[in-house]
Structure 1
Amino acid sequence: MLNNMTLNGYIDCLLHLPVNKKDNLVAPHKAVLLLTILELIKSGEIDRPFIPLTKSLEKAFKATWNLYVKSSGSFKCALNYPFYHLSSSPFWTLVKLPSFECRKEYSLSALKKSFAGAVIDEDLFQLMKDDASRSVIENILIKTYLSSEYPTHSSANVVLSTLAIFLLTVA
């Protein structure tokens, strides 16, 4: 986990999430999961850095997916992959259950048998609770991974447009 990370540090992490690509499109799964978490934090449903793997998260993920992802068939709505694979990011740590077995099965039921959930870095959680920072994070995720204008993301354009939005919100 990262410690004492600034918003700029997290922006850098979010701009460089390792993501799958298919048909020259960036897989939206990690961005959709993070947007779902942002919304659950905003609504108060998530009130600490622990992200439980629950039916509520599944339902919210599906709703967020339907909001942002076209039903083109390139990608399927699946919470299991981003929930597991975000562990390659420095701000996301899976919380193993005592029954944890190291295996290569990533189905949702297998994840629930092995993990209680995940913990996000405390600094990132605090930024996600703050309205202005949350807006910046949302814009980064949407413009980088979900905008049809950026089918393969361009970090420079995203940073500049997000910085402009951030400056407008704090001015």
Structure 2
Amino acid sequence: MNTAYYLHCFASLNCARHKGKEAPHKPVLLLALADLAEQGRLKGTETAPDAALETAFRQVWRRYVADVGFTMNMGMPFYHMRSEPFWHLSIGRWSGGDIEDRHKIKNLGTLRRVAARSTINAGLIDCLNSITEWEKLRALLIERYFNRRNGDTDRHGPGRQDVPPTVSNLPSPQNGPQYCAAA
């Protein structure tokens, strides 16, 4: 399996900045999706901002986000994740004008009203469903965005012995997705 492309994407998420700090919303959303995949609740490549994802988002937020300068809101990262190459947003019932106007979709309620859905690259779904490959991606997200290494107390338990990939030791991606397919 090869996760180089997604390691690169995750290390360079286009996160908003507030008072010099990167917003944690996109990494939290990715970790929440992985929690759903681990529970067998993420089927296929399409997802919606439903109650299960919102619950997982809240749980991950509470686990990792200590900075009170940020507000827990899953709506914004669900919408803004569309700037990432592995996330494709679609809107079912939109009558509010230009969908590119980010101020038109500000919250989870609006996303649900307009039947928003996202399609996630199949390769990333394969990675989320592979314990070995997901562990690499998860470790990078935690280290890169939440400054935690060995000894974190999340769902995979304390005291990881391997060194998670960092931005400095990532392999560079080779022209687009390298899907996590069995070698």
Unaligned runs of 5+ in 2: 150-165, 172-183
Superposition RMSD on alpha carbons, in Å?
2.1
Match of 1:168 in 2: none
Unaligned runs of 5+ in 1: 161-171
- Identity over the aligned pairs, expressed in percent? 27
What one-letter code is carried by the residue in structure 1 that aligns with 2:63?
A: L
| Offset, 1:142 | 0.7
Residues of 1 paired with 2:5 and 2:52: CA distance? 30
The 4+ residue runs of structure 1 with deviation greater than 3 A are none
| Offset, 1:155 | 2.2
The count of aligned residue pairs is 149
Residues of 1 paired with 2:124 and 2:167: CA distance? 20
Match of 2:161 in 1: none
Report if the CA contact (8 A) 1:32-1:65 is conserved: yes
What one-letter code is carried by the residue in structure 2 that aligns with 1:22?
A: H
Match of 1:131 in 2: 131
Equivalent position SS for 1:118: strand
Farther-moved stretch of structure 1 (130-139 vs 102-111): 102-111
Residues of 1 paired with 2:70 and 2:78: CA distance? 16
Equivalent residue for 2:43, pick from 44, 47, 50 = 47
Structural mapping, 1:2-151, within 5 Å: 6-70=2-66, 72-97=67-92, 99-101=93-95, 102=99, 103=101, 104-105=103-104, 106-147=106-147
| Offset, 1:134 | 0.6
Cα-to-partner distance string for 1:67-123 (whole Å, 9 max, x where unaligned):
0001x32111110111000000010011221x2233532221111122332110001
| Offset, 1:31 | 0.3
Structure number having the greater helix percentage: 1
Length-normalised TM-score, structure 1: 0.79
| Offset, 1:16 | 0.9
Alignment of 1:156 with 2:168, yes or no, is yes
